[in-house]
Amino acid sequence: PRNVMVYNCTTGGTNPFHWGEIEYHVISTFKRNPLEQAFRRPNVNLTSNHLLYHYWIAVSHKVPAFLYDIYLRITGRSPRMMKTITRLHKAMMLLEYFTSNSWIWNTENMTMLMNQLSPEDKKVFNFDVRQLHWAEYMENYCMGTKKYVLNEEMSGLPAARKHLNKLRNIRYGFNTILVILIWRIFIARSQMARNIWYFVVSLCYKFLSYFRASSTMRY
């Protein structure tokens, strides 16, 4: 025939699922059900900004991988994180064309075909994408990765959650030390920074004094 009937079975027009939602569900699933021996806390940052993308690649991927490889060399083990990150980035680059463009598919033929099916055929040939529950789908996807790709059992979740809490505390501690160091540098070099610091400290002192005075009066 001159015209070939094409049936696009896609979700974008009938049951859309956006990148921001993927980000939320992946993070929440792996926080509830963390991976064993994770190197860092689970996090997803999706951006369309090219410069910001390369910044996060350097800060969140390459620098930690490089530092961990140094640690592995010092402890007499063979480095592997930079190789893993390189393979990951190559896979991401293969998908970039498809993930960074907006796609619009015509699903009229699929809708027409679905309307022509009998109730029995609709059960046998179930391609109604409106029935997809994306939150459940993403949780099953993440848990399937944990169980069948990484070969991790659910019995290891308590230990994995403790490890995740440890990573969280390490991150908070590192960020606190980093902020203090940066702020100390600014205080040492900038009169404005010192004025702001003294203003904040004086406010905290006044607040504590007022709180103590009001507590004494109530007593």
Q: Which helix (H) or strand (E) holds 140?
A: helix 134-144
Asked if 66 and 79 touch (Cβ cutoff 8 Å), the reply is no
Q: How far apart are alpha carbons 51 and 47 in whole angstroms?
A: 10
Residue 202 has pLDDT above 90, yes or no: no
- C-alpha distances (whole Å) from 72 to each of 36, 63, 66, 81, 82 are 19, 14, 10, 9, 12
Is residue 81 situated within a structural domain?
no
What pLDDT score does 42 carry?
80
User: Is 30 a member of any domain?
Assistant: no
Query: Which among 61, 56, 26 is positioned nearest to 146, based on CA atoms?
Result: 26
Band of pLDDT at residue 204, cut at 50, 70 and 90: confident
Q: Pick the residue with more confidence: 134 or 190?
A: 134
pLDDT band at 214 (very low <50, low <70, confident <90, very high): low
Phi-psi region of 151 (alpha: psi -120 to 50; beta: other; left: phi over 0): left
**pLDDT tier, 41 (very low <50, low <70, confident <90, very high otherwise):** confident
- Has residue 196 been placed in a domain? yes
Contact between 26 and 142 under an 8 Å Cβ cutoff? The reply is: yes
Establish if 7 belongs to a structural domain.
no
- What is the reported pLDDT for 219? 47
**Mean pLDDT value of segment 187-206:** 75
What SS3 state is found at 155? helix
Share of residues in the chain with pLDDT > 70 (%)? 94
122 vs 210 pLDDT, higher one:
122
Q: For residue 199, is it within any domain? A: yes
For 53-122, the DSSP string reads HHHHIIIIIIHHHHHHHHHHHHTT----HHHHHHHHHHHHHHHHHHHSS------HHHHHHHHHS-HHHH
Domain around 215: 157-219
3-state helix, strand, coil in the chain (%, to 5): 70, 0, 30
Whether residue 216 lies inside any domain: the answer is yes
CA 173 remoteness from chain centre: 20
Query: What's the angle, vertex CA 98, arms to CA 96 and CA 104, rounded to 5?
Result: 150
- Which DSSP category does 13 fall into? T
State how many domains the chain has.
1
Kindly tell me if the per-residue pLDDT of 210 is higher than 70: no
Task: Please name the residue that has the structure tokens 């961990």.
Answer: 68
Q: Which amino acid is at 199?
A: F
Does 204 fall in a domain?
Answer: yes
Domain contains 36: no
